[in-house]
Amino acid sequence: MKFSNKLILWYLDNKRDLPWRKTTDPYFIWLSEIILQQTKIEQGMPFYLSFIQSFPTVFDLAEASEHDVLKLWQGLGYYSRARNLHHTAKFVVDTNKGIFPSSYKELLKLKGIGDYTASAISSICFNEPQAVVDGNVYRVLSRVFGLQTPRNTSKGIKDFKELAQEVMDIENSGTYNQAIMEFGALWCKPRNPSCEACIFQNSCYAFLNKQVHLLPVKISKIKVRNRFFNYLVILSSDDKTILKQQTQQGIWKNLYEFPLVETSENSFLRKTEIQNKIPFASVQTASLFNETPIIHKLSHQHIHIRFWIVKTSEIRDYGICFSQIASFAVPIVLHNFITKFSFYKTVNFDTFEKLAK
């Protein structure tokens, strides 16, 4: 049996009973589609109900103030959807007596309506053969047909739209579109999909090739996390300092470093925070070595590093001689600091004292 036929038969058996499935009125379909953009049905449902309650027709929505619309949208996120919703309601009322455009091409011109929403409305309300491509469709098509193009690239967007258009049921586009999305939401889920009881077990590319968890392909754009490190460079009265081995999982594991106070931003350390870090010594003075943080760039993290010169009482066996530091494995950024600092410390201590201010 054809892919689309199997899907529609599955849908008729398994579809959820949802309010916007009882109508093909473009106003209600449009409203539901806007609310459900990037939003799970469970989250959007109460908002849909309150919107049709407050604004039973597009005229009611158009007459409302933007603030009232935003107020009702409060908590749903992506607030430009609410502003565009209101704008489009007014536009439809002002230019076409409240009647929505009835073609994909015309719908696409409205604010807040892109390829997905224009396809959804034109197929569900007017049976125009436009295949929707949403997060569910990317997943189902990539798995069943083995389409490996990364979905978040321009080629991916193009390839998936083409395949979606190719395998859809031209005669029942509205039902087909809802079927594939429902299947993606209930069966072909991102994680732990129900492959053992799937109607496509015998033909699904991903299932047959054990690639279900690898599809759809998505280019992961590395997002950089900012972290703020304050290293405490201890100078005790018995001329020692502290190095600790980084034992926790993470960057620089098993390397040595100065006692570290991580903060959520470039904040000025309090003396008590420093003292708490080294309870075995008594802090006398603490000064910032570099006002401007050194930004150490790793692939996924930008580490903003500041060194604090902390003079303390005797620490005896808790510490090591400063000259021994060279024999410990430390991150390069610490090594660079140590080199620079040793220069000030041994050659011209007075210069450092000035710099520390």
Residues that bind DNA (CB under 7 A): 18, 20-21, 32-33, 36-43, 75-80, 84, 111-118, 120, 134-136, 138-139, 153-155, 178, 181-182, 184-185, 190-192, 218, 220-221, 225
Q: Which of 33, 128, 182, 257 is catalytic?
A: 33
Q: Least CB distance from residue 218 to DNA, whole Å?
A: 5
Q: Least CB distance from residue 42 to DNA, whole Å?
A: 6
Residue 224 or 321: which CB sits closer to DNA?
224
Q: Least CB distance from residue 257 to DNA, whole Å?
A: 21
- Nearest 10 degrees: Cα torsion 255, 256, 259, 264: -20
How far, in whole angstroms, is CA 278 from its chain's centroid? Answer: 38
Q: Which of 261, 246, 238, 253 is nearest to 319 (CA)?
A: 238
Q: Least CB distance from residue 180 to DNA, whole Å?
A: 8
Q: β-strand 260-263 against 294-297: which pairing, if any?
A: unpaired
Residue 70 or 269: which CB sits closer to DNA?
70
Q: β-strand 301-312 against 283-288: which pairing, if any?
A: antiparallel
Residue 115 or 273: which CB sits closer to DNA?
115
Q: Give yes or no: 33 in active site.
A: yes
Q: Least CB distance from residue 102 to DNA, whole Å?
A: 17
Cα within 13 Å of Cα(65), Cβ side: 3
> Cα 250–255–261 angle (5° rounding)?
65
Residue 33 or 257: which CB sits closer to DNA?
33
Place of tokens 């807040």: 112
Residue 40 or 97: which CB sits closer to DNA?
40
Q: Which residues are catalytic?
A: 33
